[in-house]
Chain A
Amino acid sequence: MSSELVFCIGLALLILAVAGFTIGVKEDFAAVVGFVVYGLLLSLAWMSLSSPDVALTEAAVGGGVTGALLLGACARLRTREKPAEGHRPGWINRGAALVLCAGISAGLAGVVLLLPDPAPTLAPPAREHLLATGLGNAVTAVLMAYRALDTLLEKVVLLLALVAVWSLAPDRFWGGRPAFGYRPEPGGPLIFLTRVLVPVGVVAGIYLFWVGADAPGGAFAGGAILAAMAILGFISGLSVVPAVNGFRLRFVLVAGVTVFIVAGLAGFAWASGFLAYPVGFAKPIILLIELAMIFSIGATLALLVAGPPGRSLKP
Chain B
Amino acid sequence: MRLALDIFTIVAVSSGAFFFLAGTVGLLRFPDTLTRLHALTKADNLGLGLIMLGLLPHVAWPFVALKLVAVWVLALVASASASQLIARKVRGRRGS
A190 to B78 alpha-carbon distance, docked (Å): 10
A190 to B81 alpha-carbon distance, docked (Å): 7
Distance to closest chain A CB from B71 (angstroms): 11
A196 to B76 alpha-carbon distance, docked (Å): 12
Q: Mark B61-83, 1 if CB is under 8 A from A, else 0.
A: 00000000010001001101110
Distance to closest chain B CB from A277 (angstroms): 31
A7 to B77 alpha-carbon distance, docked (Å): 29
Contact A197 B78 (CB under 8 A): yes
Task: Report which of B70, B78, B88 forms a contact with A193, defined as CB distance below 8 A.
Answer: B78
Q: Mark A173-207, 1 if CB is under 8 A from B, else 0.
A: 00000000000010011101100110010000000
A197 to B70 alpha-carbon distance, docked (Å): 12
Contact A193 B81 (CB under 8 A): yes
- Nearest residue in A to B80 (C-beta to C-beta)? A189
Contact B88 A197 (CB under 8 A): no
Q: Which among B70, B77, B80, B82 has the highest number of chain A CB atoms within 10 Å?
A: B77
In the bound complex, residues from chain A placing their C-beta under 8 Å from that of B74 are 197, 200
- B85 CB-CB contact with A under 8 Å: yes
- B33 CB-CB contact with A under 8 Å: no
In the bound complex, residues from chain A placing their C-beta under 8 Å from that of B35 are none
Distance to closest chain A CB from B35 (angstroms): 19
Beyond A189-B84, A190-B85, A197-B78, 16 extra complex contacts between A and B, CB < 8 Å: A188-B84, A188-B85, A188-B88, A189-B80, A189-B81, A189-B85, A189-B88, A192-B81, A193-B77, A193-B78, A193-B81, A193-B82, A196-B77, A197-B74, A197-B77, A200-B70
